[in-house]
């Protein structure tokens, strides 16, 4: 009886030691996750998005683009052209708003208790994120109209034309105020706060926008849209590319081979990264704004 008790005590102490060894790494993961969502370390995964006075946002990826043909030097874009494109974009969004109202009237909405409704409840973005998304949509629609209007009649390549239009500023248009938060300069007082800000703004001493909430992703490679703005790239035969999920399932198979070197903490770390990056603000109807 005493030997069994002694053996149980040894096993219990061994389990406690293992729990303590595992607790510290898991605690570190928990602190890291909480820091990510408070904007502490988000700068490690989100690059700053500088404004170059352009209608579209530019990143370091744009600097690797080849120079534009000299023919674009003859293309004259006036402030009136920029304002007309924004007005056109507003009309597009007004049409979308009317469509949304018709869908609501027809009860074409999420049903309570469905998986879609559960996903929406878990990932509903904040109002500010939705408002910035609407502003970005206006800029996209305005850019499309500008490219088609200015370059369509001259048979210019749409991709090059979109890059050319990226040089022009939204200042002086109804969308001019939408970029103010991207150019905000942190004050010495904001940098000197004892505690980090909840939204991540001014937490980084050199780059105040790093880790800030409601910031867009930055590209590592230049964009490759079919129209230079938003239409997904197609295959060489002009057909749509295969579904990304199909590609991943085809190339990466689940063999179910266990490993002795990696623990579930490694999986959780990757999952935390994936969740943070995949929680991009979703698009909802205007009635939720």
Instruction: Enumerate the active-site residues.
Output: 275
Q: How far apart are CA 34 and CA 30, in angstroms?
A: 6
* 266: its two tokens: 């490694």
Which residue do the tokens 């939720």 mark? 288
Residue 105's Cβ-count burial label (10 Å; 0-12, 13-18, 19+) is: exposed
Alpha carbon 226 to chain centroid, angstroms: 20
Measured distance CA(287)–CA(34) in Å, rounded:
31
Q: Tell me which long-range contacts 208-212 makes (C-beta under 8 A, separation of at least 24).
A: 208/184, 209/48, 209/49, 209/182, 209/184, 210/42, 210/43, 210/46, 210/47, 210/48, 211/39, 211/40, 211/41, 211/42, 211/43, 211/46, 212/39, 212/42
- β-pair partners for 234: 240
Is the Cβ–Cβ distance between 99 and 261 less than 8 Å?
A: no
3-state secondary structure of 105: helix
């Amino acid at each position: 009886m005493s030997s069994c008790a002694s053996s149980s005590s040894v096993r219990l102490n061994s389990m406690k030691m293992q729990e303590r060894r595992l607790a510290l790494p898991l605690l570190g993961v928990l602190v890291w996750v909480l820091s990510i969502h408070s904007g502490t370390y988000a700068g490690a995964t989100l690059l700053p998005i500088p404004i170059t006075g352009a209608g579209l946002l530019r990143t370091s990826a744009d600097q690797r683009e080849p120079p534009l043909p000299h023919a674009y030097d003859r293309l004259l874009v006036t402030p009136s052209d920029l304002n007309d494109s924004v007005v056109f974009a507003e009309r597009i969004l007004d049409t979308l708003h009317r469509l949304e109202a018709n869908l609501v009237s027809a009860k074409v909405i999420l049903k309570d208790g469905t998986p879609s409704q559960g996903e929406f409840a878990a990932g509903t973005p904040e109002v500010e994120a939705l408002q910035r998304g609407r502003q970005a949509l206006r800029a996209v629609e305005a850019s499309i109209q500008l490219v088609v209007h200015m370059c369509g009649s001259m048979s210019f390549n749409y991709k090059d034309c979109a890059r050319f239009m990226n040089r022009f500023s939204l200042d002086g248009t109804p969308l001019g105020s939408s970029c103010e938060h991207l150019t905000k300069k942190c004050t010495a007082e904001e940098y000197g706060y004892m505690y980090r800000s909840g939204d991540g703004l001014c937490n980084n001493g050199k780059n105040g926008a790093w880790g800030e909430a409601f910031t867009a992703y930055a590209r590592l490679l230049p964009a490759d849209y079919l129209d230079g703005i938003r239409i997904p790239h197609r295959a060489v035969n002009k057909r749509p590319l295969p579904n990304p999920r199909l590609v991943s399932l085809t190339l990466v198979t689940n063999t179910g081979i266990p490993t002795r070197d990696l623990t579930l903490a490694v999986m959780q770390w990757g999952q935390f990264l994936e969740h943070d990056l995949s929680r991009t603000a979703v698009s909802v109807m205007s009635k939720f704004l």
